[in-house]
A and B are shown apart, each in its own frame.
Chain A
Amino acid sequence: MMVVGQGILALLCLLLGVMPTTMIRALSGVTMSLTGEGLATATSHGWLWLTPIAPEVASYSPPLIMIGILGALGAWAAVYFLLRRRRISKPTIRREPWDCGFGSLQSNMQYTASAFAMPFKEVFRPLFRIHEEVRRQVNEQLPTQMQKLRYQIHIDDIMWPFFYQPFKGMITWSSRRVARIQTGRLRHYLAYSFVTLLLLLWLVS
């Protein structure tokens, strides 16, 4: 059940990617009701062709590309099928992965997510606020020998304080105000109703 949400998103990606014309038509109801404009030219050449402006400018046929990709995979399947008689059915040899000659690999030597992201972190360092902390504990007798290493990283989005924080503050402030209205006593609500009714009466009359 954990992956259902991701599955729905993946399915939507597939639909948007492979059937964009159908999706644009389905969504045009929304854009028509909001702005009164649709993307008529994008779908004007049938469901097979996505032509954002005109067919000479740009055209794209996602279903045919999909067929191409499936065809490429199908070709491999055909090769596999045709060669099945000539194949010597031997189990594939499995060996330990190459360890540079330093002895057996352990799971804590694997490339981690932070190791994978390290080049990105270096390249896009100006765009983020990176708090990095490395604590080394070395052997007193032999300073080159590390005994303990602790690495901590915390990355802040630089957009957060400038862009999201003001909005967040505004929403918190206004919802506090609303909350004060919501947590009154009974006579306060009676007073609200009374005032609202008076207002309505004044508007109607």
Chain B
Amino acid sequence: MNWTGWLLVFLQTCIFVVAAPLYAGWIKRVKARLQNRTPPPLLQPYRDLAKLVSKEIVLADTVSVIFRIAPYIVLGTSVLAVSIVPLIVLELPVTAMADAIVLVGLLALGRFFLALAGLDAGTVFGGMGASREMMVASLAEPAMLIVIFTLAMVASSTNLSTVITHTLVSPLALRPSMIFAFIALVMVGIAETGRIPIDNPATHLELTMIHEAMILEYTGRHLAMMEYAAQLKLLLYSVLIVNLFFPWGIALATAPAFLLIATVALFSKLAVLGAVLAAGETAVAKMRVFRVPTFLAMAFTVALVGMLSFIILEAG
């Protein structure tokens, strides 16, 4: 039994879990600055979560037990999903256990329960949110899988650690397949985490919301868990983008110095990505819901072009 490995998995998951609200706070802060508003403190998301946890729960009288267990399942699968993503160190026991396809599966399991919970209360908004979420998912998931297959063809492995190692050891070159996969993953990430231009996490305007519509009936700690799961998912996609395409700095060995460098590198990369995301969200307006399929079809096409450019230009 590889105890150091499992300890590192635990440590890594803890960093993920602790840093997720911080990352959401950072994006909010940058966005507020760009929009000439007074930014909230960096730790505001933690305070919001703490406030929600301390509040009592009010349930709709139409909900069943699914509504009550869904937050636990959604947050549980999110934590499980982040535990299999290489964050600061490669070659962990979990990466052999679960590859990128399992990651997509775990997120899908969480989303299934999220949609069920949205439908459970029987209100129109929950149903609308669930329906739209499933529409987005049904188009985003194929694009995500094509991105994974492209990366798998480049590195000839679906194991996330192996893919990152391959990028690290191969000579630095501008690969068209990687550029297309990067663009597609960014587009899928935006759609999956419900950011502008697909969904607006800050809105409660009824006709435009997707994720917020599903969790509209939640209160108290249930709502905190749902929000927390969304923050974890946002950080997960950001880490995927950062580590798959710009892995430099990630620790190849488990010496403490390497881990420290990796953590610093990761946080600076995430800070840049968060700022870029905030800038993008400031510059772009939210799309109409029925433009979203076009956006995701484009992501799918870009991913497919990446795959084809690997087969035509780089393979062999």
Contacts and interface: CB of A to CB of B under 8 A. Distances in A.
Interface of A: 55-61, 64-65, 68-69, 72-73, 75-76, 90, 92-100, 105, 107, 109-111, 115-120, 122-123
A95 B289 contact: no
6 A-B pairs with least C-beta separation: A111-B127, A72-B76, A97-B60, A119-B135, A94-B61, A61-B97
Contacts of B158: 57-58
A73 B97 CA distance: 19
B145 to A, nearest CB: 14
Contacts of A98: 60, 123, 125, 216-217
B61 A72 contact: no
A168 B283 CA distance: 56
Contacts of B119: 111, 116
B131 A119 contact: yes
B305 to A, nearest CB: 21
Contacts of B96: 55, 59, 61
B104 interface: no
A68 B60 CA distance: 31
A179 to B, nearest CB: 44
A55 B157 CA distance: 9
Interface residues of B, number: 50
B76 A111 contact: no
Given A57-B157, A58-B159, A97-B122, A115 B127 contact: yes
Nearest to A109: B124
A134 B63 CA distance: 32
A105 B59 contact: no
Given A59-B96, A65-B102, A93-B59, 19 more contacts: A56-B157, A58-B159, A65-B98, A69-B77, A69-B109, A72-B80, A73-B73, A92-B58, A93-B56, A94-B59, A94-B60, A97-B63, A109-B124, A111-B122, A111-B126, A111-B131, A116-B130, A117-B131, A120-B135
